[in-house]
């Protein structure tokens, strides 16, 4: 049988199962190219396609992307509306293809604050792709890690669970990411060293990879480098590997 291995990207020994990405730097990328910020977000959306394809090729099974945070409402209305429209357009344009390629779409965050037409499309996309298992794509949209913890605590109280029964596992099961394994690797582009409220509960033992590259320029080769770096990390979870 022919060897289909790409010599530039040999199979990784230990690819991360779950990768989270803080797709930062769209605005600076746009400025650098003399374009409007929205064009930066559009270029960032285009980049998602190659990162999704590469995820499947490199053996990543779950990807969580930070597309709109609970703090992003503070941006000018034009930019907020632009990001909402991008989400809607992506679903309209890419859903059939994503479904054909075995991608399961999920959403984390608060849907209620989004326009009903977007909510409907997101729920439809989730329902249509729920049987797919090649790659799970969690879209964090109107997501905030602190809000997620507050919501989990409210849920636990509403369910009447006594304090003595509250464990880390129980709280994990009340997060938006219930049933998802914790992220192994968090990638942040554009050189900022912050978590920005992204998966703050789940990333307790995640490895971080930070690159100065702006998100629209974060390509397959750099993604591979991030995964390769992860493979070489010694994860001890507070213990010792002797």
> What residues numbered 45-104 form the site for ligand FPP, per CB under 6 A?
45, 67, 72, 86-87, 90
Q: How far is the CB of 232 from ligand FPP (least distance, A)?
A: 28
Please, which residues have CB within 8 angstroms of residue 45's CB and are 6 or more apart in sequence? 86, 90
Q: Does 20 bind ligand FPP (CB under 6 A)?
A: no
> Which residue lies nearer to ligand FPP by CB, 152 or 209?
209
Contact 206, 184 (CB under 8 A): yes
Angstrom distance (rounded) from CA 211 to CA 146: 25
Angstrom distance (rounded) from CA 40 to CA 213: 13
Q: Does 28 bind ligand FPP (CB under 6 A)?
A: yes
Contact 60, 224 (CB under 8 A): no
> Which residue lies nearer to ligand FPP by CB, 98 or 156?
98
Contact 42, 59 (CB under 8 A): no
Q: How far is the CB of 60 from ligand FPP (least distance, A)?
A: 17
> What residues numbered 202-221 form the site for ligand FPP, per CB under 6 A?
215
Token code pair at residue 128: 């249509």
Q: Does 139 bind ligand FPP (CB under 6 A)?
A: yes
Q: Indicate which residues carry an active-site annotation.
A: 24, 72
The site for ligand FPP (CB under 6 A) is made up of 23-28, 41, 44-45, 67, 72, 86-87, 90, 139, 190, 215
């Amino acid at each position: 049988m022919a060897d289909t291995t790409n010599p530039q990207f040999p199979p990784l020994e230990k690819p991360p199962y779950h990768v989270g990405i803080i797709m930062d730097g769209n605005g600076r990328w746009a400025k650098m190219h003399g374009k409007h910020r929205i064009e930066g977000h559009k270029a960032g959306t285009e980049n998602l396609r190659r990162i999704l394809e590469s995820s499947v090729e490199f053996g990543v099974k779950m990807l969580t992307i930070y597309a709109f945070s609970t703090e992003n409402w503070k941006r000018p209305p034009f930019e907020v509306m632009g990001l909402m429209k991008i989400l809607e357009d992506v679903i309209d344009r890419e859903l059939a293809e994503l479904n054909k390629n075995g991608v399961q779409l999920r959403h984390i965050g608060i849907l209620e604050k989004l326009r009903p037409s977007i909510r409907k499309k997101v729920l439809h996309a989730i329902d249509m792709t729920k049987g797919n298992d090649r790659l799970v794509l969690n879209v964090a949209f109107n997501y905030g890690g602190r809000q997620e913890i507050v919501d989990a605590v409210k849920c636990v109280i509403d369910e009447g669970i006594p304090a003595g029964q509250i464990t880390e596992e129980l709280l994990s099961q009340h997060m938006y990411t219930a049933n998802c394994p914790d992220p192994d690797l968090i990638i942040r582009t554009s050189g900022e060293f912050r978590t920005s409220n992204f998966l703050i509960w789940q990333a307790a033992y995640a490895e971080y990879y930070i690159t100065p590259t702006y998100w629209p320029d974060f390509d397959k080769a750099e993604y591979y480098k991030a995964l390769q770096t992860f493979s070489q990390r010694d994860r001890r979870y507070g213990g010792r590997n002797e």
